[in-house]
Structure 1
Amino acid sequence: MIWLNNTNARPAGTYVETVSLAGSNWDVYKGWIDAGSGKGWNVFSFVRKSNTNSALFNIKNFTDYMIYTKKWMSNAKFVSSVEFGTEIFGGSGSININKWNVNVQ
Structure 2
Amino acid sequence: MARRDVTPQEAKAMGEQLGITWQEFDVEQFRRGMVVELEHGLHDPATNVTDDDLFLTAKIALAHLNEFPDYYDRLEKMEEEAEAYWAERKAQSPQTP
TM over 0.5: no
> TM-score scaled to structure 1, two decimals?
0.21
> TM-score scaled to structure 2, two decimals?
0.22
